Structure 1
């Protein structure tokens, strides 16, 4: 997923929405624009990402070679990033 941030600062935009869409399409990524300051698009970005993960079982199914926390694990992650969103 490619997230264009700082959409609340339209006048100082470095990448146009069209450029972001083209780049994301070229690399088969989702593209969402958001603003961490105003929270616009933040929840949508998380929801879209979760939906894609759910739709792609290979990303979340447990296997012997993967490490880290996966949905369905009974143990909680040992470390928290402390990250929250709006």
Structure 2
């Protein structure tokens, strides 16, 4: 299956960043996505089957950036589908549920998957979701922050229901990607190549790229 994105993306926006939401089933990835993309919350979402995505445009550092956000199924039986998408990602949000210790324990597995299948320079972020459910919390914020620090990645606790830290998490990840690309952009102005447009690198995530499954 191949997804082709309209040429208008190239005409209207300088950059297109591909982001992945990964983590165990039931941690709230779809709710996080819909809160960020549509500012809605629905507790009746059916568990994602395979892959789905949303697109939202943000403005950072004076640039319009299209965020193409892929919501991946956390079930183990879909593992081989989701891994095919790591390679093209500019950023990955790894989500666990602060009320479900198993989802936190599996972070190490997801980090190994990222290391095995994503590009070396992919930006990563750890998300402890459902922080509104303080009365059912089983994973402390300190434990989540420690894992993030040990792996050199940013950390946020979020709540899709109460809209806590959702926008700041996505924008922070996008800004880190943008900052990483700026040296390449500067080189392009001097006669180099625009990232993702003719540089010959698979999975650059640049405008006009296509995603394959």
Match of 1:25 among 139, 145, 149: 149
Structure 1 runs, 4 residues or longer, greater than 2 Å off: 75-78
| 1:47 alignment counterpart | 171
Unaligned 5+ segments in structure 2 are 1-124, 185-194
| 1:7 alignment counterpart | 131
Match of 2:173, SS? helix
Match of 2:200, SS? coil
| 1:38 alignment counterpart | 162
Pairs aligned (count):
74
Q: 1:56 to 1:68 in 2, by over 3 A?
A: closer
| 1:66 alignment counterpart | 202
Residue 49 of structure 1 deviates from its aligned partner by 0.6
- Find the aligned partners of 2:204 and 2:178 in 1 and give their Cα distance: 17
Higher Rg of the two aligned structures: 2
| 1:83 alignment counterpart | none
Whether the 8 Å CA contact 1:68–1:77 is kept in 2: the answer is: no
Per-residue deviation, residues 18-38 of structure 1 (Å, max 9, x unmatched): 111110000011001110111
Residue 12 of structure 1 deviates from its aligned partner by 1.2
Unaligned 5+ segments in structure 1 are 79-86
Q: Report the TM-score when normalising by structure 2.
A: 0.32
| 2:21 alignment counterpart | none
